[in-house]
Amino acid sequence: MSLIIKGVNKKFISKHKETYTLDNIDLSFKKGEFICLLGPSGCGKSTLLNIIAGLETPSEGKIYLNDKEINGVGVDRAVMFQESALFPWLKVIDNVEFGMKMAGVPSKERREKALYYLKMVHLAKFKNSFVHELSGGMRQRVALARALTLDSEVLLMDEPFAALDSQTKNILQTELQKVWIETKKTIIFVTHNVEEAVLLGDRVIVMSTNPGKVKKEFKIQLGRPRNIENVDLAYVTAQVMKELKEEVEKVAKSEYDSDWSIEKNSILYSSDNDMGIGI
């Protein structure tokens, strides 16, 4: 499997101006890689993920999956969003089966697959529960199980843990590493959290803002499974955060008075600080 992004630009046109969100993005991903797209609010990381998913089209450039141009959504790419997007009137097992049902998978096969992936995310005993009976973390695990059922080559994850508390987030980060190792899927994971990117990624793609460009790529050569207490992980996180300093300041300057600066105030956001979501 290969996923190649060639010269992708994206602009949004309003009545009075054109806004460039992405500028000349060139990237390639190999089978089984875990890639994190990292950047502050406004860098276009979620827009790029939506283009890969086929939910949006680039203004210029092309994306190829296995040498075929992406021109829309497809079963070869599954998407998991920040919100679980589960159906509240369906039980957990039926939510997990839903995509397979729409794809015409026979009921017996659907049930076997749904149970297999619910066991993988440790939710099998909640298969007959309704969504309102689950915590936020449990809902995201159901959404992950559903995303895995169609056996898509690529799993696209758009800040799936951003709305969770830190304890639940840490647990799900560990579980996601285990799922990735077991399934060997290619994962492209959007995040605004530096520590999360270094914890999860084989590579971290740092994006600049206004418009979004690839600023720098970090290869994370740390053993797995990783945990946030690891000293080496903290060191790499600091290096990535240093690269982001300029981009964080750009965003902050748009939100503070004109005389504000990181240097003047000796402030640098924590590596675990959220830098903006949904863009």
- Give pLDDT tens digits for 49-85: 999 999 999 999 999 999 999 999 998 999 998 888 9
In a domain, 92, yes or no: no
Confidence band, pLDDT 50/70/90 cuts, at residue 277: low
Tens of pLDDT, residues 135-149: 999 999 999 999 999
- pLDDT > 60? residue 247: yes
Q: 180 with 154: CB under 8 angstroms?
A: no
pTM of the model: 0.88
**Cα separation, 198 vs 108, whole angstroms:** 40
- Which two structure tokens, joined as six digits, stand for 110? 């659907």
**Stretch 203-228: mean pLDDT, rounded?**
91
- pLDDT > 80? residue 279: no
In a domain, 189, yes or no: yes
- DSSP 8-state class, residue 272: T
Lowest-confidence region among 12-16, 69-73, 205-209, 217-221? 12-16
Q: 187 with 107: CB under 8 angstroms?
A: no
- Which two structure tokens, joined as six digits, stand for 87? 């159906």
- pLDDT > 50? residue 246: yes
pLDDT at residue 267, rounded to an integer: 46
pLDDT at residue 266, rounded to an integer: 47
In a domain, 89, yes or no: no
Q: What is the end-to-end Cα distance of the chain in Å, rounded? A: 27
Domains in the chain, number? 1
Give the CATH number, domain containing residue 193.
3.40.50.300
- pLDDT > 90? residue 265: no
Tens of pLDDT, residues 143-166: 999 999 988 999 999 999 988 888
**Cα separation, 237 vs 270, whole angstroms:** 10
- More confident call, 228 vs 35: 35
Lowest-confidence region among 16-20, 124-128, 197-201, 238-242? 16-20
In a domain, 1, yes or no: yes
Query: What is the longest distance spanned by two Cα atoms in the chain?
Result: 65
Q: Residue 48 is part of which domain span?
A: 1-76+162-171+185-279
pLDDT at residue 255, rounded to an integer: 67
In sequence order, the 6+-apart residues with CB closer than 8 A to the CB of 173 are 161, 196, 199, 200
Confidence band, pLDDT 50/70/90 cuts, at residue 19: confident
Percent of the chain past pLDDT 90, that is, above it, reads 66
pLDDT at residue 220, rounded to an integer: 96
pLDDT at residue 227, rounded to an integer: 87
pLDDT at residue 13, rounded to an integer: 84
In a domain, 146, yes or no: no
